[in-house]
A and B are shown apart, each in its own frame.
Chain A
Amino acid sequence: MKKIPDKEILLFKSCLVNLEYPGVESSTRYLFDKLDIEYIVSNRQSCCTGLGHYTDLFDQFSTTAIAARNFAVAREEGHKNIATLCSTCYAILKKSCNILNKNEEVRNKINNIFETSGLGNMEYIEDEMKSKDNIFHVAEILYSKSTEIENIFKIDLSHFKVASHHACHYCKAHHKDTIGNARDPMILETLANACGLDTVDWYDRKTNTCGNGFRQRYLNKDLSLSVTNEKLLSLKENDVDILLHMCPNCQMQFDRNQKYIGRSQATEFNIMHLNISQLVALALGADPYRVVGVQTHTVSLDPILKELKKKSID
């Protein structure tokens, strides 16, 4: 398995975490603090261009130049191990890093742009970042601390049946760097098990995309939600209570659209959606409102909140 760092980490902010599920970032910070992971967050970091890139609005060269700037920020801040909260940031940064290392012409062009913009200090040197050694998803960092998590979790949530949605841009886009089997990833299950929860390790649509498809949710809504519905039906068949996420775009696709899909199918889905950081933070005793950010969710998390209340009375 690849070597996963626990220091000199730049926690890479994500647009959809910022705007939709900020509790994913605060939960991650809570966990990093508890697990003695040394990290910073930088307000100089820009977004990765992700939603713009995958709606075809951004060209690859511009996305790569923005990545090179963010790599320079990480370097200047002395924290060049990047941990992303979003799977699309992960995929985009890895792709850009590979281009910068392997394509001399592009690297020179981007360095020339830096130079002529008074940003010569941002020059990207070949191989100064390695896609496999410096760019990670937060879930991987947590996964490397599974044993520690197992030793310190406080709250028994084993009442709930859990399944995973390992985001496509984590497990498929750079599948050779995915931890475990990219076609049946188990990172999220391993972390849930470490917190004492039982997991549905396989279900019919486990490897399906969430259905967002970037442009598809906005311009081809019926197509997009048909794919989401397939997965929801498969989860319902398996009586899943909580679906674990590692990407805010996927989480949004399920959490925000689930009621709408249920209405249009004349069925009801009662699946709760949590990012893996949110679940582990809850199991370690984090406050649901002041750390986990349950107040920004659309599907009610009341069953979890009731269970937490019961546990605190016990």
Chain B
Amino acid sequence: MKTLKLGENTFKLAWSIIKDLKASEYIGVLKCIQCGMCTSVCPAARHTDLDPRVISKRVLDNDENLISDDLIWNCFYCYSCHSVCPVNNSVCEINQILRQKAIKKGNGIPEIAPFSNYAENFLEFGLGSIPINFFDELVQDIGEDWLQLKVDLEDIRAELGLAPLTLPEEDVQDINKILEKTGFKNRLGKIKRVKG
């Protein structure tokens, strides 16, 4: 008879996910019954080989190869799986945590490097925006009008009675101090080195 041997490290990956800051309280990683509700509602599962039910199974199998598996990068972060799970598991959060592990390991950095301009703008202005490196393709897909909107934006905002988009300099400096001390600036430095 095949018996299940439970050791200290049997659920090492699962526990590291449960204890991660990103994991919701009471996340039911260990309670997965492989019902497949997650897969039935997953947009990525309809169009790619990503199967959230299998991701959950591989976590329970302590399959650390998941961290370098390209499949985890197909998730849309739509939380559809998360919202229907009968045992409060969340493959959406599992994927977010696995990607952070991939970034920590290094293999995930090329996946996020194209977005580093977002962080540069955030540090400079305290505001989010679409990274500039995607603009050419977006203009091609959407049309020149979209680029014109960027040119006219301040005028349109004024017409709508909205103030210019700036934070006081002092607040931008505060945000920089905070993100220096959370380690984010250091993280961004590593990401940009890979990009270059």
Contact = CB atoms under 8 A, between A and B. Distances in A.
B21 A46 contact: no
Interface in B53-91: 73-80, 82-84
B21 A211 contact: no
Contacts of A18: 127, 165
Nearest to B176: A117
A304 interface: no
B101 to A, nearest CB: 11
A60 B21 contact: yes
Contacts of B100: 56, 59-60
B15 interface: no
Which label, helix, strand, loop or mixed, suits the secondary structure of the B interface?
A: helix
A147 interface: no
B52 to A, nearest CB: 14
A240 interface: no
B29 interface: no
A260 B153 contact: no
Interface string A84-110: 000000000000001100110010000
Interface in B147-162: 149-150, 153, 156-157, 159-162
B142 A260 contact: yes
Contacts of A102: 25
Interface residues of B, number: 75
B105 interface: no
B142 A58 contact: no
B115 interface: yes
A168 B78 contact: yes
B189 interface: no
B32 interface: no
Nearest to B174: A119
Most buried by A among B47, B77, B103, B130: B77
B127 A209 contact: no
A54 B160 contact: no
Nearest to B160: A26
B192 to A, nearest CB: 11
A267 interface: no
Given A173-B82, A227-B47, A215 B115 contact: yes
A205 to B, nearest CB: 10
A244 interface: no
B76 A211 contact: yes
Nearest to B164: A43
Contacts of B112: 55-57, 215
Interface stretch (A156-164, A196-204, A292-300): A292-300
A57 B127 contact: no
Contacts of A168: 78-80
Given A46-B171, A46-B175, A22 B162 contact: yes
A228 to B, nearest CB: 10
Nearest to B181: A113
A293 B156 CA distance: 8
B33 interface: no
Interface of A: 15-16, 18-20, 22-23, 25-26, 29, 41, 43-52, 54-62, 64-66, 69, 98-99, 102-103, 106, 113-114, 116-119, 168-169, 171-173, 175, 182-183, 207-209, 211-216, 218-221, 223, 226-227, 230, 256-257, 259-260, 289-291, 293, 295-296, 298
14 contacts: A16-B128, A19-B129, A19-B165, A22-B157, A43-B163, A51-B118, A59-B100, A62-B184, A119-B174, A119-B178, A173-B83, A182-B83, A213-B78, A298-B145
The 3 A-B residue pairs with the shortest CB-CB distance in the complex, in nearest-first order? A15-B128, A213-B76, A209-B78
